[in-house]
Structure 1
Amino acid sequence: MINYKHLHYFWMVAKEGSIVAAAERLNVTPHTISAQLSLLDDYLGCSLFTKVGRQLELTETGHMVLSYASDIFSLGGELEERVRNLDKVRPLVFKVGVVDVVPKSIAYHLLTPAIDDLNNVRMICHEGDINELLAELALHRLDLVISESPIPSDVSVNGFSHSLGRCGSSFLAHPDVVDKLSGEFPHNLNGGPMLLPGETTVVRRQLLQWFNKNRIHPRVVGEFDDSALIKAFANAGKGIMVAPTPIKDEVARQMNLIHLGDTNEIINNFYAISIERKISHTAVEKITTSARDWLDGSV
């Protein structure tokens, strides 16, 4: 059986970035840690670190071992915390993944009811691409995935996509950009600097079709997968952005932007993906109920 003390030393070195730093955290000598790492390498039959100059870098196997070690010691910490708090009310742990193209403000509003309306909930949020998060969901490391699309047809995950609701889209821009536009919405977008959502987003395709339908030809100055980055560029006066209508006032206030207009022809859909057909997790049930009232009311 693997020696977990050796594994713990390896984990600390990977986390701290060096043997010296790990030795200081563990209050042992660097020589002691080096010796334990050698024993672990011998036991596993491969090297977990490689030396690049004066730095240690994880090998491919080292990255895999680190993933397992992180899970092991995370569970160990959770076990210790639970044992120490047996006499207290145990929190309902809610692990959720948010697909990286979902606007952060939307994710915040969708998830907030799980904390506001339920007592003693401990939410653990992760962000990533949809394939990565669905893999975690399949392994039961997540209770829910918030996405702008249902489970892709080419992904072999036994899960269910529960619609949270839909909403229209709004256009916003910095006052300096608005001053240079002419005409009424939506034709004042024609020739204007546009900050497009990235190709991985569902709304981008609808947005381009809407431009063609209305014979609008904006000047594309940037394309972004990250909605937070689009807002930063819009705040700097670099172009016009599009956002889900329910958060238009919030985005305008936070980013010092002016609201140009809305359309219900560019629809944002949001989904709660779970491995259950019938939702039973209390936090998930609260999120789905609140989301439908909030989102569908804006279409």
Structure 2
Amino acid sequence: MDQLNLRHLHYFWVISREGSIARASEVLDLAPQTLSGQLATFEQAVGGQLFKRQHRRLILTDLGQLVQAYADDIFALTGELSEALKLPPTHRPLNLFAGISASIHKLIAYRLLQPAMKLGREVRLECRTGRAEDLLLSLKRGELDVVLTDRMPTAEPSERLAVHRLSSSTISLFAAPDMAKELQRGFPQSLNRQPLLANATDAPYFHKLMNWLTLNNVRMELVARIDDSALIKVFGREGLGLFAAPTAIQEEVCRQYQVAVVASLEEVTDQLYAVTRSRKLTHAAVKAICEGPIQGSKESS
């Protein structure tokens, strides 16, 4: 069956609910002979008998039960769509498919998405995390509405992606309270030979941090690479090393993980971007995100 005939499927679905062609023909306002012929055509298309007769009632076969299960889902969604279309456009549920680079801290990602969740209408959000390159490919395919990333994307001249600058934050170093207090004295030389917990997702700000350490003649010991931002902080809380995170969320980090700030590094920043397929923002939720923290956009080519 190359293409499913939805009208025939609907006829079958009504017959299965009503239990007879006679009652279904009344519901559908079709002659019983016409409906019977349409059912026979549909059975030929699906390759098997959908009903068996038991006394005067039609009973679903195994194949019929399988088809009915799918038909229930299809026509339930059709009903929801019909009801949604009756609503004014501003009251209809808004689907938002967002891609988030794995290297972006989850608290930061939540803040970036917040404007979309405060539109005053229902937003159905679906988030996908992963490598920026993979997410941008999904964006080009139309599978995502927006990608949040911490690196400026590169694009071929034909792709014309729109890059919207969102927010920037300096980076702070965190550690267990006793360790942080000790390292604050004689900073930054106090960091020499101290254990460092790294983000395994290749966050751009981590490379900037390593350059800053080199410029200040500081050499730390890399003891672990961890791709889970929460797990890094747990390791830090237990005194296994220092870790870096955006200064913008330092209060939440200290409160949630019982750590303390060693220092904030003005020279090391974390820049965030939203990437869309077009410079013109027609999706209300995407527009709210792109115009949230810092307004303005830059188109890449």
User: TM-score interval w.r.t. the shorter chain?
Assistant: 0.5 to 0.7
Residue of structure 1 equivalent to 2:135: 133
CA displacement at 1:172 relative to structure 2: 0.8
Aligned position for 1:218: 220
Report deviation, 1:290: 2.2
Instruction: Say how many residue pairs are matched.
Output: 227
Structure 1 residues 175 and 280: CA distance shift in structure 2, 3 A = same
For the 8 Å contact 2:100–2:127, the answer to whether it is kept is yes
SS of 2:292's equivalent in the other structure is helix
Aligned counterparts of 2:178 and 2:259: Cα–Cα separation in 1 = 9
Q: CA separation of 1:124/1:228 partners in 2, compared to 1, >3 Å: closer, same or farther?
A: same
Alignment partner, residue 148 of structure 1: 150
**Secondary structure, in 3 states, of the residue corresponding to 1:237?**
coil
- Cα deviations by residue, 1:230-250 (Å, 9 ceiling, x for unpaired): 223212321111111100111
Distance 1:181 1:260, change over 3 A: closer
Equivalent position amino acid for 2:221 in 1? R
Q: 2:207 aligns with which of 198, 205, 208?
A: 205
> C-alpha displacement at 1:137, in angstroms?
0.8
Percent identity among equivalent residues? 31
**Cα deviation digits, residues 76-135 of structure 1 (max 9, x gap):** 875553235444542121111111111101000110111124422222211121122112
Give RMSD over aligned pairs: 2.9
SS in 2 for 1:178: helix
Alignment partner of 1:83 is 2:85 = no
For the 8 Å contact 2:92–2:121, the answer to whether it is kept is no
* Pair 1:150–1:179, CA change in 2 (3 A): closer
Choose from 96, 99, 108 the match for 1:97.
99
Provide closer, same or farther for how the CA distance between residues 135 and 182 of structure 1 changes in structure 2, counting only shifts above 3 A. Answer: closer
Superposition map of 1:2-151 within 5 A: 2=2, 79=78, 81-88=80-87, 89-151=91-153
| Aligned counterparts of 2:213 and 2:76: Cα–Cα separation in 1 | 53
Report if aligned partners of 1:201, 1:225 keep a CA contact under 8 Å in 2: no
Question: Could you tell me whether the CA contact under 8 Å between 2:119 and 2:285 is conserved in 1?
Answer: no
Which deviates more from structure 2 when the two are superposed, residues 127-136 or residues 141-150? 127-136
Q: Hey, what does 1:23 align to over in structure 2? A: none
Structure exhibiting the larger radius of gyration computed from Cα positions: 2
Q: Which residue of 1 aligns with 2:235?
A: 233
Residue of structure 2 in register with 1:43 after alignment: none
Counterpart position of 1:266? 268
Q: Which runs of 5+ in 2 are unaligned?
A: 5-45, 48-72, 296-301
Q: Residues 266 and 155 from structure 1, CA distance in 2 versus in 1: closer, same or farther, beyond 3 angstroms?
A: farther
Instruction: Select which of 168, 171, 192 maps to 2:194.
Output: 192
TM-score (norm 2): 0.67
Work out the CA distance in 2 between the residues paired with 1:159 and 1:182. 44
Residues 45-103 of structure 1: per-residue CA shift (max 9 Å, x gap)? xxxxxxxxxxxxxxxxxxxxxxxxxxxxx998755532354445421211111111111
Instruction: Please give the secondary structure, in 2, of the residue aligned with 1:291.
Output: coil
2:14 aligns with none
Q: How far off its partner does 1:156 sit? A: 7.8
**Letter matched to residue 275 of structure 1:** R
Give the structure 1 partner of residue 284 of structure 2. Answer: 282
Alpha-carbon distance in structure 1 between the residues aligned to 2:275 and 2:120: 21
